[in-house]
């Protein structure tokens, strides 16, 4: 169906593909590309391995910048920053730091539970004699009784 309905005869029989120039790299074009961020020690992490950028490749703006990591079809890896490739070397694995041993000491007591809040203890809407105001010792003037003089 496709060839019968969509095929078009080319206007010219010449090859329309452009040749690769000197600025093109076929290996870079066919590589698997990831972006990584350069750490403070001029290192990048690729596949759980640390790679260090060579000293001669360090330039202004590299630390914290994104670099292009190209894994080529032959298994080699190339790191590109801006328009130049950087030399990288694999860092040795970090030594395992032993965890600190627990010191024998007093066992901590569990925290005491919080007491229940008592903010509504004397608040009753059903009977006025049980309201919070009835618990307060009011002066005779507040109760409406004239003081005796």
Q: What is the pLDDT of residue 131?
A: 52
Residue 20 maps to a domain: no
Residue 65 maps to a domain: yes
Find the angle CA(27)-CA(29)-CA(31) to the nearest 5 degrees: 65
Residue 127 maps to a domain: no
Residue 105 maps to a domain: no
Q: What is the pLDDT of residue 149?
A: 58
Q: What dihedral angle (degrees, nearest 10) is formed by the CA atoms of 19, 20, 22, 27? A: -160
Residue 58 maps to a domain: yes
Q: What is the pTM of this model?
A: 0.55
Find the angle CA(26)-CA(32)-CA(37) to the nearest 5 degrees: 115
Structural domain including 34 reads 27-90
Q: What is the pLDDT of residue 135?
A: 54
Q: What is the pLDDT of residue 15?
A: 83
Residue 138 maps to a domain: no
- Nearest C-alpha neighbor of 88 from the set 47, 48, 40, 56: 56
Q: What is the pLDDT of residue 119?
A: 84
Residue 32 maps to a domain: yes
- How many separate domains does the chain show? 1
Residue 117 maps to a domain: no
Tens of pLDDT, residues 98-145: 888 877 778 888 888 888 888 888 776 666 565 555 555 555 555 666
Tens of pLDDT, residues 41-75: 999 999 999 999 999 999 999 999 999 999 999 99
Tens of pLDDT, residues 25-36: 889 999 999 999
């Amino acid at each position: 169906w496709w060839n019968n309905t969509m095929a078009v005869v080319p206007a010219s029989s010449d090859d329309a593909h452009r040749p690769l120039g000197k600025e093109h790299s076929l290996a870079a074009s066919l590589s698997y590309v990831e972006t990584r961020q350069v750490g403070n020690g001029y290192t990048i992490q690729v596949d759980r391995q640390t790679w260090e950028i060579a000293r001669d490749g360090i330039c202004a703006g590299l630390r914290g910048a994104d670099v292009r990591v190209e894994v080529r079809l032959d298994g080699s890896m190339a790191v590109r920053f801006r328009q130049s490739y950087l030399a990288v070397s694999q860092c040795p694995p970090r030594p395992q730091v032993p965890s600190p041993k627990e010191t024998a000491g007093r066992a901590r007591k569990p925290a005491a539970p919080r007491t229940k809040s008592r903010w509504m203890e004397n608040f009753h809407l059903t009977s006025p004699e049980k309201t919070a105001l009835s618990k307060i010792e009011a002066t005779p003037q507040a109760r409406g009784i004239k003081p005796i003089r």
